[in-house]
Amino acid sequence: MLSATVLPAQDAKKPNAQMGPRPVAQNLDNPSGIAVHGETGHIFVAEHRGVLRLFKQEEKKGYSRKMQVARYPSDVYGKGPMYDIGPLGVALLGTDHLVVGDGSRPDGEELVRVYEIAVEAPEKPTPEKKAAFTLGPITAGDASAKGEGNYYGVAVTKDAIFATANGDDTKGWIVRAKLNNGKPGKLEPFIATKEAVSVDAPCAITVNAAGDLVVGQMGEISVPGDSLVCVYDPSTGKLKKSYETGLSDIVGLAYSPNGKLYAVDFSWIDTSKGALYELTMDGDKCSARKIVDLDKPTSLAFDTNGTLLVTVFGTAEEGSDKKPGKVLRIGKGMLK
C-alpha cells in the first residue's frame, strides 16, 4: 500500500453572519447526495423520499422544487443513531441522464439506475422503477458474501459509471459499469478497497483533473480519525496513493473550479464535530483545514457559479413537524 502522513487539522475562522452557510432548501428528509447540472444549474438532491430537483424561481429570489424520481422503498442505516434512507448518491451522465445509487433495499437487491431528464423539471415525478437503464443487483457470491448495496457515492467519467458500495465489508467494493456510446453495461465489482488499504467503507467519490478516482474511505464509524483519501487508476483499479487525513468519516468530496479539494466529515462517533474541510496534498502529506462546522453533513457539489452546496441531515427542532435536512450555500468568501 502506498501510504502518506497526515498533518493536524487547522481550526476554521469564525464566519460572520453574512458569510455563513445559508439554506437553499429546507424540510429535507436525510439528504445524502447532490449534483448540479452544468448547463441549467438545476440541483438534484437524493433524500429519503426520492430525488428532488431544485431550480431558480423566475419572478423572485430562491428556488422552487419538484420531485424528479419518487416511490422508493425505505431502509435504515446506522449504528447508534439510525437514519431512514432511500436513494443515496447522484451524478449526471451527459446532459440528459441522471445516475442514482440506491440505499432503499437490502444488500444484494440494491441497484444503480439511470433516468432520462428533460431541460425543465417534470410536472410529475418519474416512478423509481421507470428507469432508462437499471444496473445490478450484485447478488451474494464469490465476489461479495452478502451481495452489494448502499451505493453512497456516484461518479461518472467518459468511460464508466462508478459507485462506492457498503455490502461486503471485507472487500469494500467500488463497482463499475463501463460505457459504450453513452450506454452503461453490466454493473460489476471493480476495486476491493478494503484489501488495498485495510480500512472499511468507501463512501465519497469524485474525479480529479487527471481523470483518476479520488475516494473517501470512511473507516469504522466507531473509530475517530481513521478516514483516508485514496487515489485509484480508473482503468486498472490500481491504488496510486493513500493519504491519512485525521478526519473521522469522510462522506463527500468535491473539487472546486480552481482545483481545490473539499471534504465533509459526518463524524459518527461525535456528530457535533461534523464539518467542511479543505484538503491539501503536498508530497506524501495531507493537511485538513476546517472551513466551518456543520450539523451532520453528507455530500457536496459546486454550482455553475463556483458556489459550494452542502447537504446536511441536521437536527430536528423540538415541537416542529418539519424535516431537519437542508441544502446549504457556502459562498466563495468562506472558502478562502
Tens digits of residue pLDDT in 153-174: 999 999 999 999 998 999 999 9
Measure Cα distances from 215 to 32, 42, 71, 199, 209 in Å. Answer: 16, 25, 30, 12, 14
How far apart CA 233 and CA 213 sit, in angstroms, is 6
Q: What mean pLDDT comes out for the span 11-17?
A: 50
- If pLDDT is split at 50, 70 and 90, which confidence band does 266 have? very high
Q: What mean pLDDT comes out for the span 267-283?
A: 96
- If pLDDT is split at 50, 70 and 90, which confidence band does 15 have? very low
DSSP one-letter code for 12: P
Instruction: Work out the burial of residue 164: count CB atoms within 10 Å of its CB; fewer than 13 is exposed, 13-18 middle, 19 or more buried.
Output: buried
Domain 5-335 has CATH 2.120.10.30: yes
Q: What mean pLDDT comes out for the span 255-283?
A: 97
pLDDT at residue number 322: 95
pLDDT at residue number 79: 76
pLDDT at residue number 163: 99
pLDDT at residue number 9: 56
Question: pLDDT tens-digit profile of 213-242?
Answer: 999 999 999 999 999 999 999 999 999 999
How far apart CA 223 and CA 52 sit, in angstroms, is 33
Question: pLDDT tens-digit profile of 27-74?
Answer: 999 999 999 999 999 999 999 999 999 999 877 888 999 999 999 999
How far apart CA 294 and CA 322 sit, in angstroms, is 19
pLDDT at residue number 18: 52
Query: Does the pLDDT at position 24 exceed 50?
Result: yes
Query: Does the pLDDT at position 12 exceed 80?
Result: no
- If pLDDT is split at 50, 70 and 90, which confidence band does 141 have? very high
In the chain, what are the domain boundaries? Answer: 5-335
pLDDT at residue number 17: 43
Query: Does the pLDDT at position 14 exceed 60?
Result: no
pLDDT at residue number 80: 74
Residue 61, C-beta contacts closer than 8 angstroms, at least 6 positions apart: none
Which amino acid appears at position 268 of this protein?
W
pLDDT at residue number 229: 98
pLDDT at residue number 20: 82
pLDDT at residue number 198: 95
Q: What mean pLDDT comes out for the span 94-104?
A: 98
pLDDT at residue number 5: 47
Mean pLDDT across the chain, nearest whole number? Answer: 94
pLDDT at residue number 19: 66
